[in-house]
A = this chain, B = another copy of it.
C-alpha cells in the first residue's frame, strides 16, 4: 500500500473552504467559531482522516503534552505500580509519558534527563533516587521545566516530592504487633544502603522505644530480595534468638521466603507440624507495594505505601505545576495503609 501524503491543516482548510487559522481555532477550541464553520471543519477532518501534528504545534510555542518519566527499575512492583498510576492520570488529561530507565543505581539519569529536555517535555518525574538531585533541579529550573521527585531528593528541600511515609508505615505495623502482645520483634530484609529501609527501620526503632521494648542490632538482619536467602536468614535468626516472637519483613519476597523458612524450621525442629510452630511461636508482618492480592494466602499482616496512589499524586502535582507555574515546593506524603489478616 502506498503511503498516503500526510494530511495537514492546509488540506483541511481547503476542503472546508476556510483558512488554516480557523481550523487551528477549531482544533484548540479557542476563538469563538460559528457552529456552522465548526461543523464543516470537523466534517473535513473526519473525511480526510486528519491527525494533528503535535510536534509542530508545540514547536510554535504551546505545550508538547508530554511528561518525561525516569524510573529506576520498572520490573520492581513499586515502580510498575507507580508508572501505571502516573500514566493513567496523565492519559486521562490527554497527555502522554515518555518512559526511560535511569538504572538501578541511577547511572543513566543524567543522560536521560538531557534527552527528555531535548524532546521538549513539559515536565519531568524522577522515581528512584538519583545521586545528583541538586544538579538536576538547577537544570530543570534553567529550562523552566517542572520537576517532581518520587522520593526524598537527597538533602534538598526546595523541590516537589510525592512519597510514601516510610517511617509512619513502620510505626503503624510495629504498634500493631505490640498491641497484639509482641515484645520481641525482629527485622528481616533489605539492604542498609536503601534510604527507604533506613526510614522504616527508624520508625521501627522509635516505636520500640516508645513502648520501652528492647532493641538489639542483631535483630535487624540485612537480606537481598531472594526467597531462598530470606528462608535461610530467618532460620538462622531464630536459632540464635529463640525468644523472638515476631518478624517484620522488608518486602513481599522476603515475607514469602521467611514463611518458607518457618515451614522448614517447623519441621526440622521436630515439633508438631508447621502450623502450630508458625502460629504459636512466630508471627510474620511485612511491607508491600500494593494493597491487594500479593500476599493473599500468607497469615500475616502487612502495611502498604500504595505505589499507584503515589503515581497519581505525582501526576496531579506535575499538572498543577505546569498549569500554575512556580510557587514554593510542595511535599505530598501518601499515607500508608495497614492490612490486617486473620
CB distance B100 to A98 under 8 Å? no
CB distance A118 to B75 under 8 Å? no
Question: For the complex, is A227 an interface residue (Cβ under 8 Å from B)?
Answer: yes
Contact of A80 among B75, B142, B143 (CB under 8 A): B75
The 10 closest A-B pairs by CB, nearest first: A3-B144, A227-B297, A99-B99, A55-B55, A51-B118, A227-B296, A1-B141, A80-B80, A55-B120, A228-B297
Contact of A228 among B87, B226, B228, B296 (CB under 8 A): B296
Question: For the complex, is A273 an interface residue (Cβ under 8 Å from B)?
Answer: yes
CA distance A304 to B236 in the complex (A): 32
- Could you say which residues of chain B place their CB within 8 Å of the CB of A58? 55
Question: For the complex, is A93 an interface residue (Cβ under 8 Å from B)?
Answer: no
CB distance B142 to A1 under 8 Å? yes
CA distance A260 to B278 in the complex (A): 14
Question: For the complex, is A81 an interface residue (Cβ under 8 Å from B)?
Answer: yes
CB distance B55 to A119 under 8 Å? yes
Task: Name the residue of chain B whose CB is nearest to the CB of A101.
Answer: B87
Contact of A84 among B75, B142, B144 (CB under 8 A): B75
Given contacts A4-B143, A143-B3, contact A84 B97 (CB under 8 A): no
Measured CB to CB, the closest approach of chain B to A328, in angstroms, equals: 13
CA distance A125 to B3 in the complex (A): 19
Measured CB to CB, the closest approach of chain B to A141, in angstroms, equals: 5
Question: For the complex, is A319 an interface residue (Cβ under 8 Å from B)?
Answer: no
- Could you say which residues of chain B place their CB within 8 Å of the CB of A52? 118
Task: Name the residue of chain B whose CB is nearest to the CB of A264.
Answer: B275
Question: For the complex, is A36 an interface residue (Cβ under 8 Å from B)?
Answer: no
Contact of A55 among B49, B59, B143 (CB under 8 A): B59
Question: For the complex, is A66 an interface residue (Cβ under 8 Å from B)?
Answer: yes
Interface residues in A222-240 (C-beta closer than 8 Å to B): 225-228, 231
Given contacts A118-B52, A273-B267, contact A226 B99 (CB under 8 A): no
Task: Name the residue of chain B whose CB is nearest to the CB of A141.
Answer: B1
Given contacts A87-B101, A98-B97, A142-B3, contact A263 B274 (CB under 8 A): yes
**27 A-B interface contacts by CB (under 8 A):** A1-B142, A3-B142, A4-B142, A4-B144, A49-B142, A53-B59, A53-B118, A53-B120, A54-B119, A55-B64, A73-B84, A74-B87, A75-B84, A84-B101, A87-B100, A91-B108, A91-B112, A96-B116, A97-B98, A98-B99, A99-B99, A225-B293, A226-B293, A260-B297, A263-B263, A267-B273, A274-B274
Question: For the complex, is A334 an interface residue (Cβ under 8 Å from B)?
Answer: no
